[in-house]
A and B are shown apart, each in its own frame.
Chain A
Amino acid sequence: MNRIWIIAEREFADSIRSKRFIVVVGIFILMFMLNLSMLSFASQVSELSLEDLFLQTSISNLTFIASLLGIALGFSAISGEREKGTLLLILSRPVSRDQVLNGKTLGALAVIALSLFSSYFILIGLGMAGFNLAIDLDKVVRGALVLIFILLYSLVFYLASMFFSVISRRSSRSMVLALVFWIIMIIILPLIAFIVGTALAGPMPIGEENIEAQMEYWQKVSQIQASILSFTPDTNLQSIMRNLLGTPSPYGVEVQVSVNETTTTTPPPPEAKSIPQAIIDSALNILVLIVYVVVFYGLSYMFFVARKEEK
């Protein structure tokens, strides 16, 4: 058997049994139950149907979990083996370092893919059978296609974490680095983008007579925000999802102003494109995700394969 497969098989078996995997699955179940309880309320205020909301909530939960799973499986990929002393036993055999990296990545990818697809189809089944939702087949297929890109997205986080585990002697350090990366990408950057957007857009016009100016203001903020975040994995995945599922843009806000308060609502969902068209339109976003994968894998490869193991 190919050595990459042997390592992948070991990685898969170990990951599935690991505590951190069980914790991430636990977080997912908790999140889903929380969202489910809010679903009927959300359907009253949203333009989307209950079925679409259910599907999108499920997919956005899976997106969040996929990034966490990537981090959880990647941060100790190499440093963990180094700490246990098992890396020495593996490397004392006719196994090349790139086989170790490839095997580990393949194993983790299999775990994430299995988790994503099984959760997705369980959720669809639960929605249809348990809540009598009439989710149409086209949407189920589109959702499944989105999962492939979520897998690519989670690979970005896995490979970033694996890189941190290559350069760190201790898993605790690589875990901190990986979490910092995750927090920056998912929380800090969107916040910074919003702050920069509002700062650059200038003061917001106030008053009922300035509705159009206010709409322009928010559009400007959104544009700045979107350009700042255009390179993040999350923004690119959202864009792919928008093309495939026809979900509204997180930046495409609509402003409603009354005498006393200003509120924003999302516009009606855009029509979903045909699947081939959606993929063509997402080519650049897919490319960005691939660039991330290549860069992080390349960095791991450079440091690990160059035998830069130091005392």
Chain B
Amino acid sequence: MDLAIETRGLEKVYEKKIHALKGVDLQVPKGVVFGLFGPNGAGKTTLLSILTGIILPTKGEAYVLGIDAIKESLRVRERVGVLPEGFGFYEHLSGLENLIYLAMLDGLSREEARERAEKILDEVGLCEKKNVKVKEYSRGMRQRLGVAQAVLKDPELILLDEPTQGIDPQGVAWFKNFVVNLRQKGKTILISTHLLQEVGTLCSHAAIIYRGKILTIGSFEEISKRIREESNISAVFIYPNAFMAENAYKALVESGFGEVRVEAEKLYIIGDPEKAESMLSEKGIGVPSRVNFPSDWHDIFVHYIFFRRGDME
């Protein structure tokens, strides 16, 4: 398999003895949208910072597009676009001026940088606001500008750290379309996030990271197969909201149905789903949607982070 990213035994211990990464082995195939999913503090940003050479690991190896990311980080950054978490722009400059500056740092001449910046601003829908100072941009516009700077040099690999954090549903929809377009152009995209429901559907492959360890990695099909072999969850009942799911959960517990778990708007059924459905029906509660487990990346995340957390620690 042709890999865009490969790490072996990556460890990072910060000076305050925080063990952020504990032997991370990551393989990201070329040409996919890859999700790096994990809760806050799992080590996602640390991992991305090492891949781009912003920080050094304590131990281990990291290769990006076949280049040693630890020894030759500049070469990596020539070919990789990054949207770092907590990024900011020069507030007193316009969106266009910010992008021209960054494009020049990417190695373009002033004329090329302007041309490229204008093209990208058009692609991200900020063309009309290109001469407006960034301090007047909304959060969503800043995020679009952030994505724009990440694709400025038309990189082969794009690393996006929490790209949808704090943006509205319209912004998320725009972001998804943008990533789909990038994918169609053959780019490899790594999205690091804890907001799975927003961007999970974009990813064909993923890794779940928790407390500095990769809990699982692979394509959705591969991981689903693995989970089905080890999990006793037989089905997932999906409700329109968490309140209805909670009601159904309580009804099943009161009826003495074996084991059931609730997580947001989903009921995870352990045991016979037909029996659970009929018990709910007796209490006048329907099942709007029933799917096999795991049905999406969120189920996989829930399985590893909430259900199997005890096994992992």
Residues of A within 8 A of B (CB): 1, 3, 6-7, 10, 14, 17, 84-86, 88-96, 307, 309-311
Bound-state Cα–Cα, A10 to B103, Å: 13
Question: For B82, B92, B105, B110, which residue has the most chain A Cβ atoms within 10 angstroms?
Answer: B105
CB–CB B101/A10 < 8 A? yes
CB–CB B105/A3 < 8 A? yes
CB–CB A311/B20 < 8 A? yes
- Contacting residues, chain B, for A309 (C-beta < 8 A): 49, 54-55
Interface assignment of B149: CB less than 8 Å from any CB of chain A? yes
CB–CB A93/B84 < 8 A? no
Interface assignment of B88: CB less than 8 Å from any CB of chain A? yes
B165 to chain A, nearest CB (A): 13
Bound-state Cα–Cα, A207 to B31, Å: 94
B199 to chain A, nearest CB (A): 20
Q: Mark B274-287, 1 if CB is under 8 A from A, else 0.
A: 00000000000000
CB–CB B56/A89 < 8 A? no
A9 to chain B, nearest CB (A): 9
- Contacting residues, chain A, for B49 (C-beta < 8 A): 309
Bound-state Cα–Cα, A94 to B102, Å: 10
- Contacting residues, chain A, for B88 (C-beta < 8 A): 84-86, 88-89
Bound-state Cα–Cα, A208 to B110, Å: 76
New contact pairs (17) apart from A86-B88, A310-B16, CB-CB < 8 Å: A1-B104, A3-B105, A3-B107, A10-B90, A14-B90, A14-B92, A89-B89, A91-B52, A92-B54, A94-B75, A94-B106, A94-B107, A307-B54, A309-B54, A309-B55, A310-B55, A311-B16
Bound-state Cα–Cα, A91 to B52, Å: 9
CB–CB B55/A307 < 8 A? yes
B133 to chain A, nearest CB (A): 12
A229 to chain B, nearest CB (A): 37
- 16 A-B contact pairs sorted by A residue (CB < 8 Å): A3-B105, A6-B104, A10-B90, A84-B88, A84-B89, A85-B86, A85-B87, A86-B88, A88-B88, A89-B149, A93-B106, A94-B75, A310-B14, A310-B55, A311-B16, A311-B18
CB–CB B84/A88 < 8 A? yes
| Beta-carbon nearest neighbor of B110 in chain A | A1
A1-B109 contact in complex given A89-B149, A91-B54, C-beta closer than 8 Å: yes
- Contacting residues, chain A, for B15 (C-beta < 8 A): 310
User: What number of A-B contacts does a CB cutoff of 8 Å give?
Assistant: 79
B67 to chain A, nearest CB (A): 12
Which of A6, A14, A17, A307 is within 8 Å of B105, CB to CB? A6
CB–CB B55/A90 < 8 A? no
- Contacting residues, chain B, for A89 (C-beta < 8 A): 84, 87-89, 102, 149
B99 to chain A, nearest CB (A): 10
Chain B interface secondary structure, helix, strand, loop or mixed?
loop
A135 to chain B, nearest CB (A): 40
Bound-state Cα–Cα, A91 to B77, Å: 9
Bound-state Cα–Cα, A6 to B56, Å: 26
Which of A84, A91, A307 is within 8 Å of B91, CB to CB? A84
- Contacting residues, chain A, for B149 (C-beta < 8 A): 89
Residues of B within 8 A of A (CB): 14-16, 18, 20, 46, 49, 52-56, 74-75, 77-78, 82, 84, 86-92, 101-102, 104-107, 109-110, 149
Bound-state Cα–Cα, A94 to B78, Å: 5
CB–CB B77/A94 < 8 A? yes
- Contacting residues, chain A, for B77 (C-beta < 8 A): 92-95
| Beta-carbon nearest neighbor of B108 in chain A | A1
| Beta-carbon nearest neighbor of A93 in chain B | B105
What 8 pairs between A and B have smallest CB-CB spacing?
Answer: A85-B88, A92-B82, A88-B84, A84-B88, A93-B105, A94-B78, A94-B77, A85-B87
Which of A1, A93, A310 is within 8 Å of B102, CB to CB? A93
Bound-state Cα–Cα, A28 to B170, Å: 52
A88-B86 contact in complex given A94-B77, A309-B54, C-beta closer than 8 Å: yes
- Contacting residues, chain B, for A3 (C-beta < 8 A): 105, 107
B121 to chain A, nearest CB (A): 16
- Contacting residues, chain B, for A7 (C-beta < 8 A): 105
- Contacting residues, chain A, for B78 (C-beta < 8 A): 94
- Contacting residues, chain A, for B84 (C-beta < 8 A): 85, 88-89, 92
- Contacting residues, chain A, for B18 (C-beta < 8 A): 311
CB–CB B87/A307 < 8 A? no
A96 to chain B, nearest CB (A): 6
Question: For A85, A92, A310, which residue has the most chain B Cβ atoms within 10 angstroms?
Answer: A92
Bound-state Cα–Cα, A84 to B137, Å: 15
Bound-state Cα–Cα, A86 to B87, Å: 6
Bound-state Cα–Cα, A88 to B91, Å: 15
A90 to chain B, nearest CB (A): 6
Bound-state Cα–Cα, A115 to B106, Å: 31
| Beta-carbon nearest neighbor of A96 in chain B | B74
Bound-state Cα–Cα, A96 to B54, Å: 10
| Beta-carbon nearest neighbor of B85 in chain A | A88
Bound-state Cα–Cα, A94 to B53, Å: 10
B35 to chain A, nearest CB (A): 20
CB–CB A86/B90 < 8 A? yes
- Contacting residues, chain B, for A94 (C-beta < 8 A): 74-75, 77-78, 105-107
Question: For A10, A91, A95, which residue has the most chain B Cβ atoms within 10 angstroms?
Answer: A91
- Contacting residues, chain B, for A91 (C-beta < 8 A): 52-54
